[in-house]
Amino acid sequence: GNSVTQMEGPVTLSEEAFLTINCTYTATGYPSLFWYVQYPGEGLQLLLKATKADDKGSNKGFEATYRKETTSFHLEKGSVQVSDSAVYFCALKGQAGTALIFGKGTTLSVSS
Amino acid sequence: NAGVMQNPRHLVRRRGQEARLRCSPMKGHSHVYWYRQLPEEGLKFMVYLQKENIIDESGMPKERFSAEFPKEGPSILRIQQVVRGDSAAYFCASSQATETNYGYTFGSGTRLTVV
């Protein structure tokens, strides 16, 4: 079946550092890939998405490229801020009629 | 245009009681999904519903848990005879359609504590 694996946290960075959170997936067919962010005490918010191979999703300085050859969708940001501290979830959606499947989440903590 | 509304935000139940969690999807969204979030375990899919139909309940525990999405009113996730292990955050999400490239809009969750 479909599954998502993302790097375990927590990831601790200083402000303005470069961020990478790895995400790989297993799926049949051509899934869409998503990154969601969850701030403390809140629900998940869609951060970015990519719907086909080689697409790059981007938002708020974050970006991720859909790499079919390596089945990956790594999240990157060139310069993190304290306000980026949150839990980040990689997710996959397979064929129509199926639900989003999430990775376990990676906690990011950014200090000033 | 209100987002996905979940209530209550916090719910405390004693062991053996029933818990009812409500979810009103975004306006225009007819697909509802329930997820459970346990510490250190991420988000686990529970059930996917459309109006008056359960589409996929493969993530629902076989006993004590049920879900509905009636023609009128919110979707309800019902947990009977709660146990301590049911303590978790329960999130509802909705989407406009089920095609592959549609993301979900999430509610703020209901945090259930069983004492």
Count contacts between A and B (CB, < 8 Å). Answer: 65
Q: How far is it, in rounded angstroms, from Cα B13 to Cα B15?
A: 6
Give CA torsion, residues B57, B44, B32, A31, to 10 deg.
-90
Distance from CA of B15 to the nearest CA of A (A): 24
Which residues make beta-bridge pairs with B42?
B38
B106 vs A contacts (CB less than 8 Å): 36, 43-45
pLDDT reading at A34 higher than 80: yes
Classify B85 as helix, strand or coil.
helix
B47-75 residue pLDDT tens: 999 988 999 999 999 999 999 999 889 99
List the structure tokens of B64: 């004590």
Residue A5 is predicted with a pLDDT of: 95
Instruction: Work out the number of other CB atoms within 10 angstroms of the CB of residue A87.
Output: 20
Residue B100 is predicted with a pLDDT of: 56
Which residues make beta-bridge pairs with A44?
A38
Q: How far is it, in rounded angstroms, from Cα B48 to Cα B5?
A: 17
- The model's confidence at residue A28, banded by pLDDT at 50, 70 and 90, is confident
Residue A10 is predicted with a pLDDT of: 93
**Any A CB within 8 A of B55 CB:** yes
Q: Which H helix or E strand runs over B37?
A: strand B31-38
Residue B57 is predicted with a pLDDT of: 94
Mean pLDDT for chain A overall: 93
Residues of chain B with pLDDT under 70: 1, 98-102
Average pLDDT over residues A45-59: 94
pLDDT reading at A63 higher than 60: yes
